[in-house]
Amino acid sequence: MKINRHQIREYVFQTLFAMQSNDELNLDYFFKYLTNNDEAVAPDYYKELVNGVEDNKEKIDKTIESYLDSKWTLNRLNKSDLIILEIAIYEMKFVENVPAKVAINEALELSKNFSDDKSINFINAILDKIMNDTEK
């Protein structure tokens, strides 16, 4: 079973969303559930993203907070949008072989599947500002 990185990101999103209600989630078992395949083996990149976002959540969330309008807090954000931002920022800041533009594009694709049109603009604006500030 060949899985591309876009599909992995979708599985990562679903896993991180599920972990909000069950932080003891077994990644290998949940990956088999997501793929509906008892023989599926969770790819290393899947585990890297899930564990990386979880291990760096505090840093990532502080980054997000620093780009929010003063009227907004993390708690006010749609949970789907927050997870999409966390995945993208993790890739932008901690994964060397993923260009920022690719991370942003993938985040926008995730938001098309798991969020709404308003969220796409919001996510794009936040990630674009982070990318531009990082490149300076």
Q: How far is CA 21 from its chain centroid?
A: 17
Say yes or no to pLDDT of 136 above 70: no
CATH of the domain at 107: 1.10.940.10
Continuous segment of H or E residues that includes residue 46? helix 44-55
Using CA atoms of 48, 90, 94, 37 in order, give the dihedral in degrees to the nearest 10.
20
Query: Which of 67, 66, 60, 46 has its CA nearest to residue 126?
Result: 67
Give the model's pLDDT for residue 7.
96
Say yes or no to pLDDT of 2 above 90: no
Which amino acid appears at position 33 of this protein? Y
Q: How many structural domains does the chain have?
A: 1
What integer best gives the mean pLDDT of the chain?
A: 93
pLDDT per residue as tens digits for the range 57-112: 999 999 999 999 888 889 999 999 999 999 999 999 999 999 999 999 999 999 99
Query: How sure is the predictor about 118, in pLDDT bands with cuts at 50, 70 and 90?
Result: confident
Question: Containing domain of residue 95, as a range?
Answer: 5-135
User: What is the biggest distance separating any 2 CA atoms in the chain, rounded to whole angstroms?
Assistant: 48
Query: How sure is the predictor about 117, in pLDDT bands with cuts at 50, 70 and 90?
Result: confident
Query: Which of 44, 81, 46 has its CA nearest to residue 64?
Result: 81
pLDDT per residue as tens digits for the range 7-18: 999 999 999 999
